[in-house]
Chain A
Amino acid sequence: MRIKFERRAEPSRLMQILTPFVAVIVTMLIGGMVFSLLGYDGANAVKEIFFTPVLASYKWLDVATKSAPLILIALGLSLGNQAKVWNIGAEGQYIAGALAGAFVAYLTPNVQSPLIVLAMLVSGIVGGALWAAIPAFLRTKFNVNEVLSSLMLVYVALQLLSYLITGPWKDPQGHNFPQTAPFTDAQLLPHALPGTYIPPGLLIAFVFMLIFWLLTSRSVYGFEVRVVGAAPSAARYAGFTAARTVWSTMLIGGAMAGLAGILEATSQLGQINLGFPSNYGFTAIIVSFLGRLHPVGVFIAGIVLAITYVGGQVAQTVVHVPSASGGIFQALMLFMILAGDVLVRYRLRIVTNFSQTLAINAAK
């Protein structure tokens, strides 16, 4: 008796929707077991990481705040992933966007106009897109693998941030801390919309979810992106050029990451400091896959990953698991969803000796 994979004629829609949920549940089981084996209270760690942030209303704003950048970045990345354009440097574009937005703030300390925040947001979008334009240019012009180039640029962005906040942009009144001057009132957005648990970034993420849904399911462009990813030669036949897809998906991915970065800076931190880079750009890759590259799925997956971020901190104080435990659960989740992919494309068949005999007899 053995297990056999049979390729499905078409990917299973049911499995596509079902596997992310299975992946999350299996992650809880395996994660709980691993932590128990390591001598921690595994069951309680799972409870604190996955359930406390949902059940305790005082954690809701925290979850909403962390899901905003994850969703925004993952929406952009999903488009590229559909075209098999691998932008894994979103963390760098997130930082570049925040720095570009903060540059506007740096230039306008005394301007009192509601347009300042808008200018910062636009600058953030452009900054993120420009940072992503480098790997797009190298890929289309010189055929440089975008996986490596976009990732290298994360480290460059980190150094740029470190240079700016310890050098030219350092807050003169900051007691020598590596940070920019706090944004003025005109440069700030509120933590949350008045009277709600909704940070401005989450509202914007919701609007972009709808835009991306229209773009991917109702436009020729969305079709083009999928064809380039699934069947490059068919795409060329249809007149879709790979270069155009690389450029557009990269720029959109960078723009979304840049928007996420400047929103985080202006609505949450209120300045740029060394704690600004928080790996959202990498976690968003998990969000994109857990959400099955679908805008609605990405929105839900962003909230799930935000729960593990918040829950990881809760588990740290309550169950005393190390700070890295949230990250381990996130990695497990990505492994599970990728393993689940096999069920979308293949049918599992248990082949017994009996069924083999039947098949042989039938062949006769």
Chain B
Amino acid sequence: MTADFIISALVTVVGISTPILLAATGELVVEKSGVLNLGVEGMMLIGAVTGFAVTFTTFNPWLGVLAAALAGAAVSMVFAVLVLSLGSNQVATGLALTILGIGLSTLIGAGFVGIIVAPFTSIFPDWLAKDPFLRIVFGYSPLVYLALAIVFSVGWFLNKTHAGLVLRAVGENDISAHSIGYSVIGIRYAAVAFGGALAGIAGSYFSMVITPMWAEQMTAGRGWIALALVVFSGWKAGRLVVGAYLFGLLMTLELYAKATGFSVFPSQFWASMPYVMAIVVLAIISIRNKTGSEAPACLGKPFMSN
């Protein structure tokens, strides 16, 4: 095993884990506010198709990412109205959002199948981005740095700011937060919109960076991995990064096993590994926290102020 091989593997791990890190960071904020949005996969697909379509029409990947964020946030509002204003069941409504996202993205993307755009890769000069060693720092799409900046900002926001404290209070004890005078519903709307925007950007990573094209259901269940990642992290931003890279490592192993054809196990074994490991990890985490005290106390419970 050469140093070159290790570096290229590391670069792949960082890149491939970025969308699940983005989506999980958004979902972390949503869940911290006490809302469980299972529609991550659907919002990612909406982001994927929107990001691709806008990049293809405007030739500007930044506009594509912005549009993906807006589209993700917009579609998350359908969920928010039902769950927050009408008090509907969060599990079922989140599923409905995923089903809608699959259908809507297929509908919008029908005209874009088979087209390729220039991948949204590193904006650093080639002598940095393509350098055999330095590419481990400079060789990524701007979205990779954006994702890291966002996850650290979110960690800082949740733990060090007053607004973050309010958001956590809403998720831990909605009735008290309401009686002190905070708008529980308003804060949750904002959290859901933020989660939608990050899921949208996460989706655009698939259609603009990993494979710069649109394909139906191209996120292939990664939204669900992001949901598992939030549980894995114990609702802590720092641990999200570690978890995302662990899953990224698994997905990289799958890629290498497929590409080299050198594997004792069939390719399907590797393809199912991230999902199997997600289950195993959930079990280990749950054994460790038998009490389940790490989850926000109001997670998934409806709140109606009147």
A251 CA to B82 CA in the complex, in Å? 31
Cβ of A5 and Cβ of B304 under 8 Å apart? yes
In the complex formed, the residue of B with least CB distance to A162 is B268
The verdict on B78 contacting chain A, using a C-beta distance below 8 Å, is: yes
Q: How far is the CB of A291 from chain B (nearest CB, A)?
A: 13
Instruction: Identify the closest chain A residue to B85 (Cβ).
Output: A342
A152–B86 CB distance below 8 A = no
Q: Are A327 and B103 in contact (CB under 8 A)?
A: yes
Given the known interface contacts A152-B279, A332-B100, A345-B87, the answer about A338 and B93 at a Cβ–Cβ threshold of 8 Å is yes
**What sequence of 0s and 1s flags, for each residue 299-321 of chain A, a beta carbon within 8 Å of any chain B beta carbon?**
00000000000000000000000
Known contacts: A341-B89, A345-B87. The answer to whether A152 contacts B275 by CB under 8 A is yes
B89 & A323 in contact (Cβ 8 Å cutoff) = no
CB distance from B225 to the nearest CB of A (A): 8
Q: Give B288's nearest chain A residue, CB to CB.
A: A142
Q: A109 vs B271: C-alpha distance in the bound complex, in angstroms?
A: 31
Contact between B292 and A152 (Cβ–Cβ < 8 Å)? no
B163 part of interface (Cβ distance < 8 Å): no
Q: CB < 8 Å: which of A134, A289, A325 contacts B103?
A: A325
Residues from 125 to 173 in A contacting B, C-beta threshold 8 Å: 134, 138, 142-145, 147-149, 151-153, 155-156, 159-160, 162-163, 166-167
**B227 adjacent to chain A (CB < 8 Å):** yes
Number of interface residues of B (CB under 8 A): 44
Closest residue of chain A to B101, judged by CB? A331
Is the CB–CB distance between B278 and A338 below 8 Å? no
Tell whether, in the assembled complex, residue A324 and residue B107 are in contact, meaning their CB atoms are under 8 Å apart.
yes
Complex Cα spacing A152 to B107, Å: 26
Q: Is B99 a contact partner of A331 (Cβ separation < 8 A)?
A: yes
In the complex, the answer to whether A144 meets B103 with C-beta atoms within 8 Å is: no
- Chain A residues with CB below 8 A from B121, complex form: none
Main secondary structure of the interface of A (DSSP, over half): helix
**A88 close to chain B: CB less than 8 A:** yes
Contact residues in B for A86 (Cβ distance below 8 Å): 91
Chain A CB within 8 A of B162 CB = no
**Distance between Cα atoms of A22 and B195 in the complex (Å):** 31
Q: Are A335 and B292 in contact (CB under 8 A)?
A: no
Q: Is A4 an interface residue (CB 8 A)?
A: yes
Residue of A nearest to B278 (CB): A152
CB-CB contacts below 8 Å: B198-251 with A: 216, 221, 224, 227-228, 231
Closest A-chain residue to B289, C-beta based?
A: A143
Find the B residue at minimum CB distance from A167.
B266
Contacts A144-B283, A341-B88 hold; do A156 and B272 have CB atoms under 8 A apart? yes
User: Given A285-B95, A324-B102, A338-B92: A151 and B224 within 8 A (CB)?
Assistant: yes
Asked if A334 lies at the interface with its beta carbon under 8 angstroms from chain B, I say yes
Interface flag for B160 (CB, 8 Å): no
**Residues of chain B lying within 8 A (CB to CB) of residue A166:** 268
CB of B268 within 8 A of CB of A148, answer no
Name the residue among A162, A166, A334 with the largest chain B CB count within 10 angstroms.
A334
> Are B107 and A334 touching (Cβ within 8 A)?
no
Shortest C-beta distance, A286 to chain B (Å), equals: 7
A327 engages B106 (CB within 8 Å)? yes
Contact partner, A148, options B96, B216, B228, Cβ 8 Å: B228
B161 within 8 A of A: no
Judge whether B100 and A159 touch: CB under 8 Å. Answer: no
| A37 to B216 alpha-carbon distance, docked (Å) | 22
Q: Which of A143, A282, A323 contacts B286 (CB 8 A)?
A: A143
Residues of B contacting A362 in the complex (Cβ-Cβ under 8 angstroms): none
Q: Could you tell me the distance between the alpha carbons of A325 and B287 in the complex, rounded to whole angstroms?
A: 43
Judge if B38 is at the interface, Cβ distance under 8 Å: yes
A327-B102 contact given A148-B231, A322-B107, CB 8 Å threshold: yes
Q: Quick check: A159 and B271 within 8 Å, CB to CB?
A: yes
CA distance A334 to B79 in the complex (A): 12
Knowing A142-B287, A148-B228, A152-B276, say if A88 contacts B106 (CB, 8 Å): no
* Contact A163/B266 with A138-B279, A331-B103 known, Cβ cut-off 8 Å: yes
The answer to whether the Cβ of A33 comes within 8 Å of any Cβ in the partner chain is no
For residue A26, give the distance in angstroms from its CB to the closest CB of chain B: 13
Select from chain B the residue with minimum beta-carbon distance to A332. B100
User: Is A38 interfacial (CB-CB < 8 Å)?
Assistant: yes
- A117 to B306: give the CA distance in the assembly, Å: 57
What chain A residues lie within 8 Å of B88 (beta carbons)? 338-339, 341-342
Closest to A151 in B: B224
**Cβ A148 vs Cβ B103 within 8 A:** no
In the assembled complex, which residues on chain B have CB atoms less than 8 Å from the CB atom of A4? 306
Interface check A328, CB cutoff 8 A: yes
Q: How far is the CA of A324 from the CA of B224 in the complex (A)?
A: 21
Chain A contacts to B: CB under 8 angstroms: 4-7, 38, 86, 88, 134, 138, 142-145, 147-149, 151-153, 155-156, 159-160, 162-163, 166-167, 282, 285-286, 289, 322-328, 330-332, 334-335, 338-339, 341-342, 345-346
- 7 smallest beta-carbon distances between A and B, as pairs: A324-B106, A327-B103, A331-B100, A328-B103, A159-B272, A163-B268, A334-B96
Q: List 24 A-B contacts (CB under 8 A).
A: A5-B306, A6-B306, A138-B279, A144-B282, A144-B283, A145-B231, A148-B227, A148-B231, A148-B279, A148-B282, A151-B224, A163-B266, A285-B95, A289-B92, A324-B103, A324-B110, A325-B103, A328-B103, A328-B107, A331-B103, A332-B100, A335-B93, A338-B86, A341-B86
